[in-house]
Structure 1
Amino acid sequence: MNNRHEKIIQLVNDRGSITVNELSQVTGVSEVTIRQDLNILDRGGYVKRIHGSAVAPESDDVSSRMRTRYAVKQSLAEFAASQISEGESVFIEGGSTNALLARTLSSRSDLTIITVSHYIAHLLRDSKCEVVILGGQFQKCSESVVGPLTRYCVQQLHFHKAFIGVDGWHPETGFTGRDMLRCDVVNTVMGKATHTVALTDSSKFGLVHPYPLSMEHKFKQVITDDGLSIETREALVNENIQVELVERPR
Structure 2
Amino acid sequence: MLERLLDESPFVAVFFYDEECSDCGAILEELENIDDEADMYGIDFVKISDEEAAQKYHILHTPALVYFRKRIPIIYEGDMTDDEKVLSWLTSQDVLEIKDEIEEVNRKMLDKLLDENDFVAVYFYENDCPRCDEVLTELETIDDEADNLDITFVKIRDTRYAKKYGISKLPAMVYFRRRFPSIYRGDLLNETEVLDWLQKNRYKHPELNLFMYAIGAVSVAFVGYTTFLVFCFHGNQQKAA
After TM superposition, the score normalised by the length of structure 2 is: 0.26
Structure with greater Cα Rg: 2
Q: Higher helix proportion, which one?
A: 2
